[in-house]
A and B are shown apart, each in its own frame.
Chain A
């Protein structure tokens, strides 16, 4: 029985510890593995009679698809990782600037007169998905998808569930709005509060993606993250989050909800909201499945950090806007 210690790279999240330990413990000849996140080391007890270098190779093979590598010598990769944030910062900010330019340009403010048909609501959905609503809904989708992909690469199930949940809520609740008519008022305060919650989630996830928690060791016990991981991969949670996006503040969504309200029947409300949700789907799907595919590429660290910067920016914007909407602070910006 020999004990070896390896340096590990790619451990960007507390749940990585659980994943690596689980995977390594499954290997024949590995008795006990322990990941030390702080020092980025993995120690194992093994009955295999291999050299430490050979072992590093064998074990890396098992976990490299998930972005981790083991090495005997400490890699100079830390330096590289530090450089990534300096590339990620301008990239994230450039996307943020692009977002504001698109808003300000006014190209999204074209008129759609006449009555609302499912086709026009589909087009409104397309516009909404790149409008200011992107700050809240898109930012949330990006931060959740990037976090899920970072946690467990190539798992797109939660994303499919999220989008199904979103579609289902828009269809069903749209239908209900149409059927009940004016019976339910949509509370401004409630949506504004939800928007603030969403923006805080975005900022936290964004900080996590950028790696603030990792670097400054703002310790969140691994237990908390493994709880989240379990929740994330359960069927119900992503579906419910998707379902909840119906209530997130977005002017377009609210206008559609009013249109569904006044449409007068379950079917027409259903059609309006479904078409609208389908219209927003391409952009949101691009964000979530895009992050899944980026997570598998070699640019993954750059992607996560850029996404983090972007998400923090959108989160701060959404938070300030939400507080303005509630009347807590004076308007700071006017897009």
Chain B
């Protein structure tokens, strides 16, 4: 019995640790953001593109502050939670059309600000850091 208990505790800790590592909100995707080139300045307006499908990508985006910024959320056959988007700092709450583009006005973000979008159930999120 004693042995059983110890084995059980070891397995449990491994599982909990593994799960935490797995779902933890690590910002490994900063590198990803650079590859994506999802920030574009056109006619003095900064556009950030986020793809919503089974989560949001890229997870972290860095943008410049002090210029008018618009967020474009693209959906493509998205029926999961990422379609119901909440961007609290912009006062945005909407269930997006399964396929299409949603343009959200972020105003003029100040540097140091952090804009965060979550799906309504809260398991998916993305961050836009203003530098």
Residues on A close to B: CB < 8 A? 79, 82-83, 86-87, 89-90, 93-94, 96-97, 100-101, 103-104, 106, 108-113, 116, 124, 127-128, 131-133, 135-136, 186, 188, 191-192, 195, 249-252, 254-259, 317-318, 320-327, 330-335
Given known pairs A93-B15, A100-B22, A334-B23, the reply for A192 and B78 (CB within 8 Å) is no
**Contact bitstring B53-91, A, C-beta under 8 A = 1, else 0:** 111000100000000000000001111111110101000
B80 — which chain A residues lie within 8 A by C-beta? 108-109, 128, 131-132, 251-252, 255
Shortest C-beta distance, A163 to chain B (Å), equals 22
Chain B residues packing against A (C-beta within 8 Å)? 1, 4-5, 8-9, 11-12, 15-16, 18-19, 22-25, 53-55, 59, 76-84, 86, 88, 93, 95, 97-99, 116, 118-125
Q: How far is the CB of A181 from chain B (nearest CB, A)?
A: 15
Contact of A331 with B116 in the complex, beta carbons under 8 Å: yes
B63 to chain A, nearest CB (A): 19
Q: Which residues of chain B come closer than 8 Å to A87, judged between CB atoms?
A: 4, 8
Would you give the shortest CB distance from B90 to chain A, in whole angstroms? 12
Smallest CB separation, B116 vs chain A (Å): 7
Q: With A and B bound together, what is the CA distance between A280 and B25 in angstroms?
A: 29
Contacts of B124 in A (CB 8 A): 334-335
On whether A331 and B118 interact (CB within 8 A), knowing A90-B15, A256-B79, the answer reads: yes
In the assembled complex, which residues on chain A have CB atoms less than 8 Å from the CB atom of B77? 110-113
A104–B53 alpha-carbon span in the complex (Å): 13
Please classify the interface of chain B as helix (H, G, I), strand (E, B), loop, or mixed, using the class held by over half of its residues. mixed
A249 touches B120 (CB 8 A): yes
- Check A327 against B54 for contact (C-beta < 8 Å): no
A195: B residues at CB distance < 8 A: 121
Q: How far is the CA of A212 from the CA of B22 in the complex (A)?
A: 28
B residues less than 8 Å from A323 (CB atoms): 122
* A328 to chain B: closest residue by CB: B122
CA distance A89 to B14 in the complex (A): 12
Assess the B78–A327 pair: CB atoms within 8 A: no
Q: How long is the Cα–Cα vector from A186 to B83 in the complex, in angstroms?
A: 14
Beta-carbon nearest neighbor of B26 in chain A: A334
Whole-angstrom distance between the alpha carbons of A252 and B78 in the complex? Answer: 9
A258 to B: closest C-beta gap in Å: 5
Verify A325–B119 contact, CB threshold 8 A: yes
Q: Is the CB of A324 within 8 A of B4?
A: no
Contact of B121 among A90, A97, A250 (CB under 8 A): A250
Other-chain residue from B8, B11, B125 in contact with A331 (beta carbon distance below 8 A): B125
Cβ–Cβ contact A191 & B120, under 8 A:
yes
Whether the pair A251, B122 counts as a contact (CB closer than 8 A) is: no
Chain B contacts for A331, CB-based, 8 A: 25, 116, 118, 122, 125
Q: Quick one: closest A residue to B97, CB to CB?
A: A258
**Known contacts A191-B120, A255-B98, A324 near B15 by CB under 8 Å:** no
A249 touches B79 (CB 8 A): no
Q: Which of B9, B16, B122 is the one whose CB lies under 8 Å from A322?
A: B122
A327 and B86 form a contact (CB under 8 A): yes
Q: Kindly list the 8 A-B residue pairs having the minimum CB-CB distance in the complex, ordered from nearest.
A: A251-B81, A109-B54, A324-B122, A111-B77, A321-B122, A325-B122, A86-B8, A333-B23
